[in-house]
Amino acid sequence: MKNSSGQGAKKPVAGIIEVTRKGTGYMAWPDDSTKEDIEVFPEKLNGALNGDQVEVELLSLFPRPRGRVIKIVERAKTEFVATIRGGVAIPADGRFNQPVVLKTKPEEGSKVLIKLLSFDGKVAKGEVLEVIGKAGEHRVEMNAIVMEHGFKTSFPAEVEAEAEAIEKNHASIIAEEIPKRADLRHLTTMTIDPVSAKDFDDALSVRTLPNNEFEVGVHIADATFFCRPGTAIDDEAIKRGTSVYLVDATIPMLPHALSGNVCSLVANEDRLAFSALFKMNANGVVLERTFTKSVINSNKRFSYEEAQKVLDTQDGPYLQELNTMRMLATAMRKRRADDGAVDFGDNEVEFELDSNGVPLKVTRKVRIDTNWLIEEFMLLCNREVSEYVSKLAEKVPEAGMVFLYRIHDEPKADRIDELGTFVRAIGYEFNKKKGKYTAKDIQHLLKQIEGKPEATLIRTATLRSMAKAIYSTKNIGHFGLSFKYYTQFTSPIRRYPDMLAHRILESHLNGKPITRREYIDLEKRCLLASEQEAKATTADRDSIKYKLVEYMTGKVGQTFDAVISGVTDWGLYVEDKASSAEGLVRVRTIGDDFYNYSAKEYALVGQKTQKKYALGDSVRVKLVAADLSVRQLDFELV
């Protein structure tokens, strides 16, 4: 690094600061990613919080760049969930470890949503926007998690009013629309969803044609017909970007009158849809495709388990249609695997809760055939829509037509190399070809670990080494799926990008494609949608983590079979094999030796005995503490 102690050293550096849970800030240089981040000690943050846009004055460059915040340009967030303790608000965000003084005094022990009015690094002042409820109560804690990540649990009055007016006039709206659309109510159509599903984005139809060919219909709820630009409903949907899924509830993107009724493809009701009809051969190859606005009437609402039972027993409603769907989905899935698509499987858990929301039982979800059957047809539709619009745009590049893609970049070299070092250290083959890893190499690794005790751990590590899938107007393909073209079209009730894809496709079908000039803000919307998706995913994980810790609070003192899921110099992270609950074994509690952290071996190694505790090892542990307020479990080795 050059010493810019002359003119450049005193010029403030602008950027976004990241604050750790220990309170230290780090800011990347805006113009040089090779430089070491600027470190800002807690006492020099001057009120800056994680994610804020700030200006930093450099104090020194050696031994590393250090500085102090001289200006907060823009707060990343001003609303925080907090718990009232001792008359002040204690923020739930562990990186804002400062009590907030309030104008009013809510009840002790209550959870509140506060607005930060001022914070100079010494005193934080705020006001209460909403009292969420009593800390520790199930619904209160779940709503608090949603609010913590910037989502609202209710809709503004004008949004609800618009939705209720649509719901009231729904029958006449459909009657008026039917003559303008393809009438597909004669097709045998069904939805297959989780048993707890409240909204139905997609329905499938299939019929056999001559010459061993088939017509598959993927019918998607026409949410954009009811969610029009310029309405309060659309403005709110843009802000939310996505529905949020918690352990036992959904915070919808659209108000319930739309998400659970008007837009939803409920059985035995006429519904407006955007249909994709595919003529296919028995190998699942698309021969022809048609996209059209339609009206459908679903014949049957299956849960995944109900449809699976029909397939397993070869007895029940719509057996022929389900068999045909499975045959076509199997062929498509095999071809995707041959092309190098990576299947990470599932590592989800499901909870059995009592009437108060207290977890009684936790089990790992098992993916059944009907799960991936539906997934294949959704992937098919998303890919075909994307390819159709992209090829139209490629024919007339001067028109400047735009589209919204779901892209997934290749893994960064350092992340995938680190994964390679890890899996080889625990005995698996994972080698580069021609200096890089391909999707097929990852696929091969995941096949090696099937059925092994460390399979979940390695799948998680592999997933973490991947780039994040995001939305963009610039297409680079989808690495994980091995698709050249991909978008998201099949869930417009719960994802705003899908609605954008609907609008763009409709504009092409109407002969009036949206141009770059008309949709100048599309890239911004892609960025916002990607950010909102990441927040919703974190909220979902936080709700699961909260419930896992709550489930374990009654099991302090019990022993569990676990796997070492992480190794650091301060201890071992272990995951209970049965429930997936994760906690920490602190290194100071391993009393038979002094243990050193060996980064190369992903292990703690005993100084005298050379005894090793390595990533992926099975261990027996005892739960010694469960702290629900910070969602943390402490274990000791048995």
User: Where along the chain do its domains lie?
Assistant: 8-74, 79-135, 157-372, 388-537, 554-637
Q: The domain 79-135: what is its CATH number?
A: 2.40.50
Sheet containing strand 300-303, strands side by side: 182-183, 286-297, 270-281, 213-221, 202-209, 189-193, 300-303
Alpha carbon distance 603, 590 (integer Å)? 13
d(CA 529, CA 488): 12
**Which amino acid is it at 47?**
G
Separation between Cα atoms, residue 88 and residue 68, nearest integer Å: 28
Rounded Cα distance between 27 and 226, Å, is 44
Which amino acid appears at position 480 of this protein? Answer: G
579: phi then psi, degrees, rounded to nearest 5? -105, -15
User: What does the DSSP 8-state code read for residue 368?
Assistant: -
Q: Are 540 and 244 in contact (CB under 8 A)?
A: yes
CA nearest neighbour of 229 among 455, 625, 518, 17: 518
Phi-psi map region of 476: left, alpha, beta (phi>0 left; psi -120 to 50 alpha): alpha
Residue 342 neighbours by CB distance under 10 Å? 21
Residue pair 237/139 in contact (Cβ under 8 Å)? The answer is: no
Please name every residue paired with 564 in a beta bridge, in sequence order, or none if there are none: 574
* The pLDDT value given to residue 434: 65
How far apart CA 54 and CA 74 sit, in angstroms, is 7
- Classify domain 554-637 at the CATH topology level: OB fold (Dihydrolipoamide Acetyltransferase, E2P) (2.40.50)
* Assigned CATH topology for domain 8-74: OB fold (Dihydrolipoamide Acetyltransferase, E2P) (2.40.50)
Calpha distance 21→50 (Å, rounded):
10
* Residues belonging to the chain: 638
Give the dihedral sign, CA 453/459/465/468.
negative
Which of 502, 499, 465, 500 lies closest to 480 in space, CA to CA? Answer: 465
Q: In this structure, are residues 48 and 42 in contact, taking their beta carbons and an 8 Å threshold?
A: no
What pLDDT, on a 0 to 100 scale, did the predictor assign at position 5? 40
Q: How far is the C-alpha of 44 from the C-alpha of 27, rounded, in Å?
A: 13
**Integer CA distances (angstroms), 90 to 52, 83, 386, 512, 547, in order:** 20, 5, 47, 54, 21
Regions in the chain scoring below 70 on pLDDT: 1-9, 434-435
What does the block give as tokens for 316? 């029940």
SS3 assignment, position 174: helix
Q: How far from 510 is each of 173, 195, 633, CA to CA, in Å?
A: 21, 37, 57
Class of residue 440 by CB neighbours under 10 A (exposed 0-12, middle 13-18, buried 19+): middle
**Do strands 244-245 and 405-407 pair parallel, antiparallel, or not at all (unpaired)?**
unpaired
pLDDT at 7: 43
CA distances, 500 to each of 252, 487, 507, 529, 533 (Å): 17, 10, 11, 11, 15
Evaluate whether 600 touches 522 at the Cβ level (below 8 Å). no
The answer to whether domain 8-74 and domain 79-135 are alike in fold is yes
Task: Please say whether the beta carbons of 238 and 230 come within 8 A.
Answer: no
Residues in CB range of 412: below 8 A, 6 or more apart: 467
**Helix locations, 195-245, DSSP H:** 223-226, 232-240
One-letter amino acid of 313: T
